[in-house]
Amino acid sequence: DTAVSQTPKYLVTQMGNDKSIKCEQNLGHDTMYWYKQDSKKFLKIMFSYNNKELIINETVPNRFSPKSPDKAHLNLHINSLELGDSAVYFCASSPDGEFNYGYTFGSGTRLTVV
């Protein structure tokens, strides 16, 4: 029944490793997003996909690569993890042209790089 689900919920990994976070939404929304929340709770958009097409690509190191196999899924792959990548990563979705219901966020993935 979860509207936007992310896996894993927690991820602890060593510097230099490569890891992926998966996101799925069952709301029928057309647009999906990745946000990064740092230790000061600041939420910053990273990427957005609309119907599998990349529409927002903020200034993010190219070690981060999003992939959207279909409009219900948006995954985030991170290469060569660094200490500064430690944060909570939120996936979100929204319907096209209808913002009265806001964005629906997943429960987040807490990434800790050691």
Partner 1 sequence: GQQVMQIPQYQHVQEGEDFTTYCNSSTTLSNIQWYKQRPGGHPVFLIQLVKSGEVKKQKRLTFQFGEAKKNSSLHITATQTTDVGTYFCADLNDYKLSFGAGTTVTVRA
Contact at 8 Å (CB) between 29 and 105? no
Whole-number Å distance between alpha carbons of 29 and 20: 22
| The residue type at 20 | S
> To the nearest whole angstrom, how small is the minimum distance from the Cβ of residue 84 to partner 1?
19
Residue 22 binds partner 1 (CB under 8 A): no
Contact at 8 Å (CB) between 21 and 79? no
* Residue closer to partner 1 (CB basis): 17 or 100: 100
Among positions 33-92, residues that touch partner 1 (CB under 8 A) are 33, 40-45, 48, 50, 55-56, 90, 92
Residue 30 binds partner 1 (CB under 8 A): no
SS3 state at 79? coil
Provide the binding-site residues for partner 1, judged by CB under 8 A. Answer: 31, 33, 40-45, 48, 50, 55-56, 90, 92, 99-108
